[in-house]
Structures are given as C-alpha cells and as structure tokens.
Amino acid sequence: MKKLFLILLLPVLLTSCEARLENDARALFKTRVLDVSGNPIVNMEVTATTFRTNRFIIGQELSKFSPPDEDFILGKGITNENGQVEFVMLVDGSFFLNFNSERYTNYKISVSRRELDDDYLLDIPETILKESSNVEIEFVNTSGTTEEYSATFELESLDCDLIYSNDMLSQDEDCVFYNNQPRRFNRTTNDGTFELSVFYPSVIDVVFTDALGNQSMRTYTITSALESYEITY
C-alpha cells in the first residue's frame, strides 16, 4: 500500500515543480533601482522567477527539486544608467523579483499574482535596496544572578520575505511574529550570545526581561556589514 501511495504521489510532486503559465500570457514589469542614498544602481540584473517552494498536501511545504539559482525564469532585464529596468515576463501566478548582485544577494521581493491586475502591469516607481549585516549581541552576566532571562529582538530580518502589496513593501507578518518570540538565556553557561542577520541601515530594538518581569531595553542602529554589541546584566 505504501509503494502504491508513493507511485501515485510522484507525478503530483513532479507536476508541482513545473511552471504553470497562464495561457502564454505576458506582463510588463518596470522599476527604478536605487541604493539607500538615492543613487541609481546600474548594470544590475533583475529577474522574475517562480516561487522557491510549493504548498500542497495538508499544508506541508516541500522544497522544489531544483536549487534556487535554477528556478524557472519568467523574465529578466538590466538596469540602465538611471537605475531603470523594464522587461516583459511570463505569468505564472505569484512570483519573486530578484536583484542579483553580491552586495544585495538577500534582496528578493515576493509578489502576488493579483498585483498584476487585469492590465498585466507591475510598475514600482522606486525599489530601494538595502545590504545585509551580521549582528552579534552578547548578554554578559556580571551580577552573578542565576535567574533565567528572556530577550526579544525587533528587527528587519533577512529570514522574512519582503512582500510587495498595494503599492507598499513590507515584511511577512507571520515571520516577523515568529522572530519576535522570546529567546531565553542564563540557563546554562555562555548561552547569551545571539547572531542576527538583518538588512541595513536599520534599527534593532532589544528588550530583555528577568524572572520577575522587570524589563530593560537597548536600541542599536545598524550601519555596516558586521557589528557586535555587549549587554551586561
């Protein structure tokens, strides 16, 4: 019975990894790509690709068989001297916009199919790219307390999809909620070091709480690719 189930499931898995084009439909995408200082980013390749994963079978998420750099390309273009890019793309439901550069490797935007509307046009006036930073925050016990602490970090995480919706760019709310869950420390020796991957420039708000519920807060402005901070308690 198990063998039969696997045989029946295999065509579903293979089919889910293929692009499902909408009757050979085409859409027009255009934007102007800038850095955080407002300067145009020139000669950058911008691609539209299919989703990296497919949700099916009782809500499970299974990765595609192909690696991310082999996703089905729906369209691509190169920014000009003004940072502008425009290209015609195939339509395959929701998709990713990828800004391909060593400095902006983590900058990918998730776009829902409904953003194309009936006119098959996605015109984002400006796309401002941020770079990525690795931030280390270490809690150091200088008081000798044995109480357990918890910390939350409010930040622009690289782990959360950027979503373009209703002419606005924001991070996935479910992912942000998950990342803001308390992280506990001072339960064992040297368990107070946290490594965070964020976009910059950005701000990290750190709130740490002791066993009695007393809270303290630190705010850090991230302006470079590698930063570290120490918090004593």
β-strand pairing of 108-111 with 162-165: parallel
Span of 49-58, 99-108, 128-137, 141-150 with lowest mean pLDDT: 49-58
**CATH number assigned to the domain with residue range 131-232, chosen from the 4 options 2.60.40.10, 3.40.50.880, 3.40.50.300, 2.60.120.10:** 2.60.40.10
Span of 158-162, 202-206, 207-211 with lowest mean pLDDT: 158-162
Q: Where are the domains of the chain?
A: 2-128, 131-232
Cβ neighbours of residue 127 closer than 8 Å, sequence gap 6 or more = 31, 32, 33, 34, 97, 99, 109, 169
Q: What is the pLDDT of residues 15-62, one digit of tens each?
A: 344 445 667 789 999 999 999 999 999 999 999 998 654 333 333 444
**Is pLDDT above 70 for 68?**
no
**Is pLDDT above 50 for 65?**
no
**Is pLDDT above 50 for 12?**
no
Query: What pLDDT band is residue 167 in, cutting at 50, 70 and 90?
Result: confident
Span of 117-121, 136-140, 195-199 with lowest mean pLDDT: 117-121
> What does the pLDDT read at residue 21?
61
> What does the pLDDT read at residue 70?
53
Domain boundaries 2-128, corresponding CATH code: 2.60.40.10
